[in-house]
Structure 1
Amino acid sequence: MPIALVFPGQGTQKEAMGEPWRETPSWELTRDISESAGEDVPELLLRTPGEQLRRTDLAQLAVFTVSLIAHSEAVRRDALAGRVVACAGHSLGEYAALTAAGALTVRDAATLVAARGRAMRKAAESREGTMGVLVAAPLDEVTALAERVRTDGCAVWVANVNAPGQTVVSGSPEGIARIEAEAPSIGAKMIRLQVGGAFHSPYMAPAADTLRTALKNTAFAPAHLPVVANVDAEPHTGDSDWPDLGTRQLTSPVLWERSVRTLVGPLGCRRLVELGPGRTLAGLIRRIAPDAEVVSVDGPGALD
C-alpha cells in the first residue's frame, strides 16, 4: 500500500515528551542531535518544565527530535506496513520530512532546526506578534477579512490553511484582536494560540534572511523521496531549490490542506502515518481526506 509519512510542528510539545522513547534503541539519536544543535536534548525531552519548553527554539528542537526518534523506531521495527512514496511536515515538521525522505542527514537537519528556531525567536522578540485560529469559516471569507483589517492599518495575514473550517491568522496583537472581534461577522470564532510571535508572516523576514544563509550552506541530497512543500503544496525531489523553499516558508502560509490533497490525490497515498508527538495532524487529515487511512505513532506502544 502506498503510504505517506507526515510530521507535526511546533505546538505539539509537552513536558517529559521523550520519556516513552528513552528505552528504545532510537534514543541514541539524541546524542547526534545534541552535538549538532548545541543543546542538551535529553534534558530538553525529559526534565525541562513545560513553560520553558514553549520557548520557540526549544519547542522546535524537541518536536523535531521526537519525530525523528518515532520515524527511526518505526523503520527499525518494520512497522510502516507499506511502501513509503512521499513525506510532508507541518511547518517545523518539514525538516523531519526532509530527513525521513533522505534529503538531509540527521546532523544537518538538527543544525538547521536549531538555527531556524533561534532566528525565529530573535525575530519575535524584536517585533511583538501573535496568532489565532479561526474555526468554522471558509478560507475565502477569512482571507477577505484579513485583507480588510490590513487595509485599515492593522498587520494581519493568513498563516496556516490547516483544514476546511480551520485557518490560522498571524500578525500584530492589534490585528489579531480586530480579527477576533470581527470573526462572528463571518460565522467564525477565534481560539488564541499560545505562541511567541507572528509566525509565517512578514514579521519573520529577519529570520528568513538568517535562515537563507544556513540553508545555502547545507548539502541537500541530489535525489530523495518526494517531499510536499508547505509553500506550494507540490512534491519536490532532489532537483528542487530547498534553500529557497525553506526561506519562503517562514514568511508564507503553510498550505497544509492542499498538501494533504496532493498526498492522497496525485501521489496516490492511501495510508498516512503521523510520526511524532500528539495526534494533531491525524485530526486535520480526517477532515481533509476522510477516506484515507490515518495512523498516529506518538509512542512506542503504537508500534506494537
Structure 2
Amino acid sequence: MTLEPIALLFPGQGTQKQGMGAPWRDTEAWSLVGTVSEQSGEDVEELLLRTDGALLRRTDLAQLAVFTVDMMAHDEALRHGLLSEAPVAAYAGHSLGEFAALVAAGALGLADAAGLVAVRGRAMREAAESSNGTMGVLVGAPLPAVEALAADARAAGHRVWVANVNAPGQVVLSGSADGVAAAAAEAPGIGAKLISVPVGGAFHSPFMASAASRLRAALSGVEFAAQHSPVVANVDARPHVCGTDWPDLMERQLIAPVLWEEGVRTLVGPLACTRLIELGPGRTLAGMARRIAPAVEALSVDGPLALGAVGPAVSRARG
C-alpha cells in the first residue's frame, strides 16, 4: 500500500471576513496570535475577532489576518495528525499565502514571516495610496487573448498588465483605473467580461515597485533555511528547495503576475500530488484547483470542524 502524496495550499488576501478567527479561538493554535501580534505591532486578536469587515479590507490588516489563520489551520492540522497520514510532497500559497507556505515547508520561521508580512502589507498599502490603481477579473477568455488585450491597451497609452492567472478563463488585470476600464470596454471582443475587484491598489504590477524595494530591504535581515521542502513559487510556477532563492522571488512577486494555474499544474504533474489540501480561510483555492485539474481531489480546511471531514480523504491509500 502506498500513501498518495498531497500538496498544501494557502490562500491570500481577499479571503478575509469579519470574525474569521472565532472558529480557532478555542484551539491550541490560537497561541500563534500572540507571536504574530508581537512581530507585527498590531493587535491581531482584535483583527480576527472584532474588526468590522470594511476595515479588515485594508491591505495591511487583511494580510496579517489571513496569514495568521493560514498558520493556525496548518498548526491544528499538524496537531491532529492530519499531515502524518500521507506524505506532503510540496507547498504553494497564493500571493500573500506564499509566506504561509514557506513557514509550513520549513524555509522560514513564523516570527520572521510575520514581520515580513507586516512590512509587505504596509508597503503595498502605501504604494497603492500614492497611485490610482485597481484590479479586475476577466472571465471567459483564454490567457493569450487577455495578454493581447492588455498589450493593445498599453500600446494605446494605458497602464494595465496581467496580474494573476488563476484558472482557465479567470485572469486578473492590474493597473491604472483608466487602463482597467479600457480593458473592460474591449473585453466583449474576446468573448469575456470584466468584473471589478474591490482592492486598494494595482497589486502584482509595476505600480508596486516602491513596495518591492521596501520588502527587499526587510528580506535582507531575514535568514531562510538553506534547504527546505519544495515550494512552488508564484512568479515562475517552479518548485524551489533552496532558501537563497526566496528573497529575489518574493520581491519579484509584488510586481510580476501570480502564475497560479501553472503552479497547480506543476503540483499535480511533475510533483505527482494527487490531493490538494487548502489550509486557511475560505475555499477559493480548492475551487480553482478543481477547474485546473478536475481529476485531482481538492479539499479545504477552513475551520477546526473541517479537520475531521478531511482526514479520511487524506489518509486514503493507493494499492
**TM-score, normalised by the number of residues in structure 2:** 0.94
Aligned residue number for residue 120 of structure 1: 124
State the AA in 2 paired with 1:55: R
| Residue of structure 2 in register with 1:134 after alignment | 138
- Structure 1 CA distance, aligned partners of 2:105 and 2:132? 35
Consecutive aligned runs of 4 or more in structure 1 exceeding 2 Å deviation: none
Deviation (angstroms), 1:178: 0.6
Q: Tell whether 2:27 aligns with 1:24.
A: yes
3-state DSSP of counterpart to 1:11: coil
Match of 1:82 in 2: 86
Amino acid at match of 2:178: E
How many Å separate the matches in 2 of 1:213 and 1:72? Answer: 29
Determine the structure 2 residue equivalent to 1:266: 270
Q: 2-side partners of 1:242 and 1:213: how far apart?
A: 13
The question of 1:211 aligning with 2:244 is answered no
Map 1:39-50 to 2 at 5 A: 39-50=42-53
1:176 and 2:180 matched:
yes
Structure 1 counterpart SS, 2:228: coil
Amino acid at match of 1:303: L
**2:225–2:243 contact (8 Å) kept in structure 1:** no
Q: 1:297 aligns with which of 295, 301, 311?
A: 301
Structure 1 residue aligned with 2:112: 108
Q: Which residue of 2 aligns with 1:11?
A: 14
Report the number of matched residues: 304
Q: Which residue of 2 aligns with 1:37?
A: 40
Match runs of 1:86-97 below 5 Å: 86-97=90-101
1:155 corresponds to 2:166: no
The RMSD of aligned alpha carbons is: 0.7
Instruction: Kindly state the Cα deviation for residue 239 of structure 1 after the two structures are TM-superposed.
Output: 5.1
TM-score, normalised with respect to structure 1 = 0.99
Tell me the alpha carbon deviations over residues 71-92 of structure 1, each in whole angstroms, 9 at most, x when there is no partner: 0000100123311111000000
Q: Determine the C-alpha separation between the residues in 2 that align with 1:143 and 1:133.
A: 13
Q: Please list every run of 5 or more consecutive structure 1 residues that lacks an aligned counterpart in the other structure.
A: none
- Give the superposition deviation at 1:61: 0.4
The share of aligned pairs that are identical, in percent, is: 67
Amino acid in structure 2 at the alignment position of 1:38: G
Instruction: Measure how far apart 1:216 and its partner are.
Output: 1.6
1: CA distance, partners of 2:34 / 2:40: 10
1:197 is paired with a residue whose SS is: coil
Whether 1:167 aligns to 2:191 is no
The residue identity in structure 2 corresponding to 1:3 is I
* Matching residue's letter, 1:265: G
**Structure 2 residues not aligned, in runs of 5+:** 309-319
2:42 aligned partner, one-letter code? E
**Distance across 1 between alignment mates of 2:40 and 2:273:** 33
